[in-house]
């Protein structure tokens, strides 16, 4: 095995047309075509999907664990952002 395995690519599989692409793992590859082929061979051997995206891992911008406080916790006490917070008058019926 070589110690140079190329770049890391993130793989997203779409199960059926119209459904979202779901992240399922990553592969090593040296170019776009190889990344797509490797993703096909590693992640769709058992009929897992009908379409693939591969994205260079370095192209993904991610939040970091230190961001949890400022990014996500302020939403905790804002229950009025959920539709269930609001009582719907009887006259409206089903929305």
**Which chain residues interact with other proteins by CB under 8 A?**
1-2, 5-6, 27-31, 33-34, 37-38, 40-42, 45
Is-contact 43 11, C-beta < 8 A? yes
Q: Which of 86, 74, 89, 23 is nearest to 9 (CA)?
A: 23
Minimal distance, residue 12 CB to other proteins, in Å: 16
Which two tokens mark 36? 């797509």
Strand 21-29 versus strand 51-56 pairing type: unpaired
Choose between 8 and 68: whose C-beta lies nearer to other proteins. Answer: 8
Minimal distance, residue 38 CB to other proteins, in Å: 4
Choose between 31 and 67: whose C-beta lies nearer to other proteins. Answer: 31
């Amino acid at each position: 095995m070589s110690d140079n395995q190329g770049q890391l690519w993130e793989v997203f599989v779409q199960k059926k047309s119209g459904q979202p692409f779901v992240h399922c793992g990553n592969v090593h590859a040296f170019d776009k075509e190889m990344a797509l082929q490797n993703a096909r061979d590693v992640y769709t051997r058992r009929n897992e999907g009908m379409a693939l995206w591969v994205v260079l891992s370095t192209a993904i911008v991610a939040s970091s664990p230190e961001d949890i406080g400022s990014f996500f916790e302020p939403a905790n006490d804002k229950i009025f952002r959920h539709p269930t917070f609001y009582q719907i008058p009887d006259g409206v019926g089903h929305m």
